[in-house]
Structure 1
Amino acid sequence: MAGLKIFGSDPENQPKPRQRFADDVVGRFRAGHTIDDRPASLDEWRITTGDPDVAARVYELFGGEEPQEGAAKGEDNIEVFTAADSVAIIIESAKSLRQRMVLWGRSGKPIYVSDGEFILDENGHPTEERDPDADLTFQERKEKKDIGAVPDIDLFFRLADDPDLGIFLFKTGSWGLAYELARDDVQGALEQAEGPVKAVLALEPVSFKAKSGPRKGQTVSYTKSSLTLKGAA
């Protein structure tokens, strides 16, 4: 049985099919925001998007504050401060996770990009040129963060509760997440899976008493991001 013919015969009056962006990046997960132009971390995920339908759906899924217009300019201007500190996701392949070390110049452009051992070419392939920091320990790299290369991590994924909503991006320069991804060889696990993998993307509170440094004796608290693989999707 055919559908209703309620739009007349003029092609100009026909409704445009609703576009679905199932294979596009429709939003970003963010672990912080800005207050008076200063960065501040969050205990629950903030999701930004340019699509009101996507904003409404993530609000329905994860609760929190109703979608509102954010400070960001451009298309990514709707934000949802969710009530979720962890979200079940689906990572489609090893290519969905990009990890690299970047030495940024004052212009905001990379001076060099590496995999931690070798400099990468424009296509992301290792060259024969060694990373200048290749022989440093993780801690030594981290201590050079103001003058050396820093992690640059992109994770593309779908929401386990609504995979067809589209692809989301979590972008971070977290040293803690870089350490855990390398320690647990998450890239290798994704490659071995040879298909979509279930995972949990979470924000975890961390608190400890500093034993040295300018905050010695003080309690230091912050929120770290984590990624836990849960097997084939």
Structure 2
Amino acid sequence: MTQSSAVRAGRFHMGRLSEGRPQALDAWRVTTDDADVAARVAGFLGGEPQPNEGGGGGLGYEVLTSRESVRVLLDGPDAVAAHMVLRGSTGIIHECDGVEFLSPVEKKGQPCGCPPLLEDRKLAARDGRGPMPSVDITFRIAAAPVLGAFHFMTGSWQLAAQLSVLTDALERVDGPAVCDLTMELVVYTTKTGRSVGCRKPVVTVLGSSDTVAPEPPPTAEPTPAPARSAPRRKGRPVPEPTTASTPESSHSVSVDAVLLRHAAQVLGTGDHQETVIAALSEIVAGRQQTTELARLREHVGRIAAIAGQALQGRNSSLT
């Protein structure tokens, strides 16, 4: 039995329904009909098993995990199934592989007429004239393969555009391929100058299970530097960032530099202020609070300036 034909333990999702409305998530959501599987998924990926009220094939349990990236095992190119689908009021009216019809039966094998270029296909789909991608990835959680096979279904054009690269990479791995399944954050600026964040699914092939760990190595904590005095300068002294212990002061401020660096890597930002802005943009845009987003972006520089003035000349440290 191949992975693609194995009994599936559950599904991974990038969103859910909240009060009847679609809700984008910042971490993976897993649904299953097995209470034990739900509990073990929560143990590996964080979160708590709960009744599935967010939709997803009628499966009884859901786990809102704390992971935006999960290390998984894919059994070769057959673990990825992809086709193009156009649905109507009566069901599927067009199903193809981009070149030939897959259904209905009377058209199977005939040219489907889809444009060869991806951008033209996207335009036709947007106008309701053409099909959209339907990608189904079957995998096991690398840290707990005994749980069984899960699958993730998506209509992402970005992932569809990379399918040939993905399947070629899977073909080159001898045996099950260790991959990272990630909800990658993308921040872009609209024509009105507003930053908007969204997530896209990304599959990164890392290698075979003989050479790649089933879990990413923990992030190494920086070695604390010995405390040292700041050099004397003319004018108002400026606190120097160090990893020294925080002096006893009611005005001390502690910032997790490791977390900031990790956030900058995820968000693709260059400095702390830009990282904070991008994070706020994602949080607020995810909640569709555009008015609050505009207000926060307008005042974030002013807030930083006020905080800097408040900290100058006081016993504070940045860790």
TM-score (norm 2): 0.58
CA distance in 2, matches of 1:106, 1:61: 40
SS of 2:143's partner is coil
Deviation at residue 73 of structure 1 after TM alignment: 8.1
Matched to 1:138, the amino acid is L
2:69 is the counterpart of 1:86: yes
Instruction: Please report how far the alpha carbon of residue 114 of structure 1 lies from its aligned counterpart in structure 2 after TM superposition.
Output: 1.4
Aligned to 2:26: 43
Q: Aligned-pair distance for 1:122?
A: 7.3
Query: 2: CA distance between counterparts of 1:209 and 1:192?
Result: 37
Asked if the contact 2:76/2:167 (under 8 Å) is kept, the reply is no
Match of 1:199 in 2: 179
Letter in 2 for 1:217: G
Corresponding position of 2:312: none
- Structure with the higher helix share, 1 or 2: 2
Give identity over the alignment, percent.
Answer: 36
Report 1:120-135 matches (<5 A).
120=102, 127=109, 129-135=110-116
In structure 1, the partner of 2:89 is 106
Instruction: Kindly indicate whether the alpha-carbon contact (under 8 Å) linking 1:43 and 1:204 is maintained by their aligned counterparts in 2.
Output: no
The question of 1:27 aligning with 2:18 is answered: no
* Cα displacement (A) at 1:45: 0.2
Equivalent residue letter for 1:200: D
Aligned to 2:287: none
Shift, 1:231, TM fit? 1.4
Residue 158 of structure 2 aligns to a residue whose secondary structure is helix
Aligned to 1:162: 144
Following the alignment from structure 1 to structure 2, what is the Cα–Cα distance between the partners of residues 91 and 59? 21
- Give CA deviations for 1:65-109 in whole Å, capped at 9, x if unaligned: x110012487511000000000000001221110111121222x2
How many Å apart are 1:193 and its aligned residue?
Answer: 3.3
Larger Rg: 2
User: Alpha carbon RMSD of aligned pairs, Å?
Assistant: 2.0
Gaps of 5+ in 2: 1-5, 210-319
Please give the secondary structure, in 2, of the residue aligned with 1:132: coil
- 1:133 is aligned with what amino acid? C
- Structure having greater relative contact order (Cα 8 Å, sep ≥ 6): 1
For 1:73 and 1:134, the matched residues in 2 are separated by 32
Following TM superposition, by how much is the alpha carbon of 1:24 offset from its aligned partner in structure 2, in angstroms?
1.8
Structure 2 counterpart of 1:53, which letter?
D
1:218 is matched with 194
Displacement of 1:133: 1.6
2:35 to 49, 52, 56: 52
Residue equivalent to 2:154: 172
| Unpaired stretches in structure 1, ≥5 consecutive residues | 1-22
SS in 2 for 1:56: helix
Deviating 4+ runs (over 6 angstroms) = none
Q: 1:74 to 1:113 in 2, by over 3 A?
A: closer
Q: Would you say 1:118 and 2:111 are equivalent positions?
A: no
